[in-house]
């Protein structure tokens, strides 16, 4: 399961041809990003073509209305922003367990040296935030199970009857039941019966992944879980401030170099050639346990890499440079902001495992590299 050998030679060849064709059709991606320490951060594509479309891992194309390479079958309808359907919060006694206090402060959000200008990474702008509490780790499968067991909650992936799965995670038998992939990112398969408990669809389980981040959860699902815990999703400003851990003008939660002394890995991302060869040099092919790798100075683990994390904000790429206090993003929109990148990110193709990097998905989207963590207000009893 953790090898490209599960894919036939024909499939790999087809993917490579499709990826090449997509790049040529959409226009080459520029390489104008500022270089990080040594050669980290230099790559052949900046993630956005001339038409503004993503050249990254394609996870921002995984919306329910995404164009597929075959006729889409009808699926169960869901009301937008259906997060209020879950039972009210029971305020579990340990609702603040596993959280740390993020101190109030002022920081520079965004950057004046954007790697992906089309993503709205810039400009750098001053933001003041009140203090808050944040989960030290991403919500795990075991924690999400507690929520489901207590509320009988049904995720949107279950309601739709499918979710998006990265092809390399699947066995040949699992691939056989798939007949649709995302046209703009053919390595993403619209997989029947894939959801948080069976992340690759049929014959998959969480036997050795209960401590891994829950995936295949939509924004609505994440809001419902946080609400049940007496918490909420972080704003984009809160998330980025926490990610930086008190550091200014640094790429990652720990500094500017991707690895530590002796080449020690500090996050779970893709090594090798995307999308056909992941060498797993960081110790993990796909998701890693939520408590892996060193925490930043605020005590937060895996703020970048592993899985993308939902935020509360609607997506917007135009930002004013005046001082903002506790900004909450646009009042209206369609997509929501996600932060942090994932195990599928690679510096040559999706250099978004940086604190200021950002992407977006629809509120009912779900995939095998998308999760979340919660925050809480300090003044909440």
pLDDT score, position 44: 35
Q: At which residue do the structure tokens 């075959």 appear? A: 70
33-37, 233-237, 371-375: lowest mean pLDDT where? Answer: 33-37
Dist. CA 162–CA 217, nearest whole Å? 12
Across 241-261, average pLDDT: 92
pLDDT score, position 93: 58
pLDDT score, position 249: 86
Across 62-71, average pLDDT: 58
Across 264-288, average pLDDT: 94
78-82, 126-130, 159-163: lowest mean pLDDT where? Answer: 78-82
Confidence of residue 56 (pLDDT cuts 50, 70, 90): low
Dist. CA 360–CA 338, nearest whole Å? 5
Q: Enter the pTM of the model.
A: 0.81
Query: In terms of residues, how long is the chain?
Result: 381
Residue 248 token pair = 């200014």
Cβ(192)–Cβ(157) under 8 Å? no
Asked if the model's pLDDT at residue 283 lies above 50, the reply is yes
pLDDT score, position 110: 97
Identify the H or E element spanning 26: helix 9-26
pLDDT score, position 48: 45
Q: Is 47 helix (H, G, I), strand (E, B) or coil?
A: coil
Cβ(363)–Cβ(78) under 8 Å? no
- 203: which DSSP letter? T
Q: Using one digit for the tens of pLDDT, what is the confidence trace for 8-42? A: 333 433 443 333 333 333 333 332 223 333 333 33
Distance of CA 213 to the CA centre of its chain: 11
Confidence of residue 70 (pLDDT cuts 50, 70, 90): low
Dist. CA 366–CA 221, nearest whole Å? 9
């Amino acid at each position: 399961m953790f090898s490209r050998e599960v894919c036939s030679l024909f499939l790999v060849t087809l993917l490579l041809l499709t990826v090449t064709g997509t790049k040529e059709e959409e226009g080459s991606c520029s390489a104008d990003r500022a270089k990080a320490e040594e050669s980290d951060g230099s790559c052949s594509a900046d993630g956005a073509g001339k038409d503004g479309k993503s050249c990254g891992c394609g996870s921002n194309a995984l919306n329910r209305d995404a164009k597929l390479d075959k006729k889409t079958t009808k699926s169960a309808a869901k009301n937008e922003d259906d997060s209020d359907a879950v039972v009210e919060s029971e305020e579990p006694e340990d609702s603040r367990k596993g959280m740390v206090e993020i101190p109030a402060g002022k920081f520079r959000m965004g950057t004046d040296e954007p790697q992906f200008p089309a993503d709205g990474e810039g400009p750098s702008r001053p933001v003041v935030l009140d203090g808050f509490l944040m989960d030290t780790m991403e919500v795990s499968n075991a924690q999400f199970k507690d929520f489901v067991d207590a509320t009988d909650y049904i995720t949107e992936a279950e309601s739709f009857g499918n979710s998006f799965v990265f092809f390399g995670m699947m066995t040949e038998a699992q691939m056989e039941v798939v007949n649709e992939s995302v046209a703009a990112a053919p390595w993403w398969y619209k997989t029947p019966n894939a959801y948080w408990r069976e992340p690759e669809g049929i014959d998959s389980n969480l036997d050795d992944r209960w401590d891994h981040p829950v995936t295949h959860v939509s924004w609505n699902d994440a809001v419902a879980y946080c609400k049940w815990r007496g918490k909420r999703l972080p704003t984009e400003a809160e998330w980025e401030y926490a990610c930086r851990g008190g550091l200014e003008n640094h790429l990652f939660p720990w500094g500017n170099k991707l690895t530590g002394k002796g080449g020690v890995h500090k996050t779970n991302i893709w090594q090798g050639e995307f999308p056909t060869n992941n060498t797993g040099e960081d110790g993990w092919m796909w998701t890693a346990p939520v408590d892996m790798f060193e925490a930043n100075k605020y005590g937060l683990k895996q703020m970048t890499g592993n899985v993308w994390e939902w935020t509360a904000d609607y997506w917007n790429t135009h930002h004013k440079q005046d001082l903002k206090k506790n900004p909450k993003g646009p009042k209206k929109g369609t997509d929501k902001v996600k932060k942090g990148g994932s195990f599928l990110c690679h510096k040559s193709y999706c250099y978004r495992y940086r604190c200021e990097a950002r992407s977006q998905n629809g509120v009912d989207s779900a995939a095998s590299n998308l999760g979340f963590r919660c925050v809480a207000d300090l003044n909440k009893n």
